[in-house]
């Protein structure tokens, strides 16, 4: 039976947490163009829902994600020419980028295999928790390409230079414990206790001010590439922006124009 695009990603929302799952277990949750397209739709649908305060990304079956689908994402797309390749890349990179700057905190719950292209969404998630039994590798070298799609950048950002180099050059597997020791993930736990730990961390986040969470997660990523002085300036502005996020003023401005008809925004400011 042909795979329906809707089936490539599963999700449900419970207690403020959106549990999103790669859902191609028979293909070890490898990322096909259809899955990438569907994931963007799902992220779109969930991002601004009032009942979603944390998003958890995991995989159905034995894999988190076995990376890009070597048949559908590479071979079949390359056969259609460069335009198709660029489109497929844009769709994959697009949802990873969307996830990196998602409105709510995101947690990768790595239940099993995690290869190559899987490092894109792994890094996109703000926090990552792995099963001790999970297996990670930059397997690109095993079939003759460099770790693209950001994977090289991910390991350089997260690991020591020596570990990143060893990981990328050998393509050797590391388990969840080693991934935690290398700081590729925050923590590793036996698979049977993984979901409970992730739910516990999500519960901690759900108690925080959502505006402050978004400002903080963005700040952590942004300042990494700034000088100290630029970071100081950015953080002052980011805090001030967060302070005014729930500013009622603009609503009052609309009210005076639309309901009270006491001024025109094109001609001047509303009465504070
Ligand atoms: N792309 C396409 N199909 C895949 C992928 C993949 N990345 N991974 C698994 N599959 C498919 C297999 O072809 C197989 O399909 P079939 O049932 O139609 O024959 C099915 O998923 C099950 O795979 P098996 O290899 O039989 O599963 P097993 O549990 O024995 O092994 C493992 C799992 C180790 C993950 C293996 O499937 C594998 O090595 N996959 C490739 C991992 C990889 O290197 N990914 C690319 C990283 S590089 C990048 O992403 C740019």
Residue 27 Cα to ligand 1 midpoint, Å, equals 6
The answer, yes or no, to whether residue 253 has pLDDT greater than 90, is no
pLDDT at 141: 96
Q: Rounded CA gap, 105 and 121, in Å?
A: 13
Reply yes or no on whether the pLDDT at 151 is more than 90.
Answer: yes
Q: Is 21 in the pocket of ligand 1 (CB under 6 A)?
A: no
The mean pLDDT of 53-67, rounded to a whole number, is 98
Asked if residue 150 has its Cβ within 6 Å of ligand 1, the reply is no
Query: What confidence score (pLDDT) does residue 272 get?
Result: 78
pLDDT in the model for residue 210: 92
Give the distance, in angstroms, between the CA of residue 90 and the centroid of all CA atoms in the same chain: 15
Give the model's confidence band at 226: pLDDT under 50 very low, under 70 low, under 90 confident, else very high: very high
Mean pLDDT calculated for residue range 137-146: 96
- What's the 147 CA to ligand 1 centre distance in angstroms? 17
Whether residue 247 has pLDDT greater than 70: no
Arithmetic mean of pLDDT, 200-206: 97
Nearest CA to ligand 1 atom 1: 69
User: Residue 169: is it exposed, middle or buried by C-beta count within 10 angstroms (0-12/13-18/19+)?
Assistant: exposed
pLDDT in tens, 10-39: 999 999 999 999 999 999 999 999 999 999
Tokens of 184: 């590729």
Evaluate whether 79 touches 45 at the Cβ level (below 8 Å): no
Q: What is the pLDDT of residue 10?
A: 98
Spell out the residues 6+ positions from residue 269 whose beta carbon is closer than 8 angstroms to its own: 253, 263
Cα 18 to ligand 1 centroid, rounded to whole Å: 27
Pull the structure tokens for residue 43: 């992220």
The more confidently predicted of residues 44 and 243 is 44
Q: Say if residue 248's pLDDT is above 90.
A: no
Average pLDDT over residues 44-72: 98
Percentage of the chain surpassing pLDDT 90? 90
Whether the CB-CB separation of 56 and 107 falls below 8 Å is answered with yes
What are the φ and ψ backbone dihedral angles of 252, each rounded to 5 degrees? Answer: -65, -40
**What does the angle CA 218 – CA 223 – CA 228 come to, to the nearest 5 degrees?**
150
How far apart (Å, rounded) are the C-alpha atoms in residues 20 and 256?
A: 42
d(CA 5, CA 40): 12
Tens-place pLDDT, residues 91-125: 999 999 999 999 999 999 999 999 999 999 999 99
Confidence of residue 249 (pLDDT cuts 50, 70, 90): confident
Look over the chain and give the mean of its residue pLDDT values, rounded to a whole number.
96
Q: Tell which atom from ligand 1 comes closest to the C-alpha of 27.
A: 21
pLDDT at position 268: 87
Question: 149, 89 in Cβ contact below 8 A?
Answer: yes
Amino acid 159: pLDDT: 98
Would the pLDDT of 75 be above 90?
yes
Q: How far is the CA of 29 from the centre of ligand 1 (A)?
A: 9
Query: What per-residue confidence (pLDDT) applies to 246?
Result: 63
The residue whose C-alpha atom lies closest to atom 7 belonging to ligand 1 is 69
> To test the ligand 1 pocket, which listed residue (8, 31, 59, 66) has its Cβ within 8 A of the most ligand atoms?
66
Whole-prediction pTM: 0.93
Q: Is 114 in the pocket of ligand 1 (CB under 6 A)?
A: no
Give pLDDT, residue 101: 98
Residue 170 has pLDDT above 90, yes or no: yes
């Amino acid at each position: 039976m042909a795979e329906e695009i809707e089936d490539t990603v599963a999700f449900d929302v419970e207690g403020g947490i959106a549990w999103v799952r790669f859902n191609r277990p028979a293909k070890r949750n490898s990322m096909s163009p259809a899955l990438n397209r569907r994931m963007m739709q799902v992220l779109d649908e969930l991002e601004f829902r009032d009942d979603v305060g944390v998003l958890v990304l995991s995989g159905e079956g034995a894999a988190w994600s076995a990376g890009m689908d070597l048949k559908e994402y590479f071979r079949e797309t390359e056969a259609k020419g460069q335009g198709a390749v660029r489109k497929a890349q844009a769709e994959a990179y697009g949802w990873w980028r969307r996830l990196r700057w998602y409105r709510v905190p995101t947690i990768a719950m790595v239940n099993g295999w995690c290869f190559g292209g899987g490092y894109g969404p792994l890094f996109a998630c703000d926090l990552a928790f792995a099963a001790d039994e999970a297996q990670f590798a930059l397997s690109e070298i095993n079939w003759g390409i460099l770790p693209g799609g950001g994977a090289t950048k991910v390991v350089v950002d997260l690991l020591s230079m020596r570990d990143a180099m060893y990981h990328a050059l050998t393509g050797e597997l590391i388990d969840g414990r080693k991934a935690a020791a290398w700081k590729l993930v925050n923590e590793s736990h036996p698979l049977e206790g993984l979901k409970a730990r992730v739910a516990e961390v999500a519960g901690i986040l759900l108690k925080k001010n959502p505006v402050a969470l978004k400002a903080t997660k963005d700040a952590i990523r942004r300042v990494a590439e700034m000088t100290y002085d630029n970071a100081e300036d950015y953080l002052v502005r980011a805090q001030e922006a967060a302070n005014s996020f729930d500013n009622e003023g603009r609503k009052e401005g609309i009210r005076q124009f639309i309901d009270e008809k006491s001024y025109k925004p094109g001609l001047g400011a509303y009465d504070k």
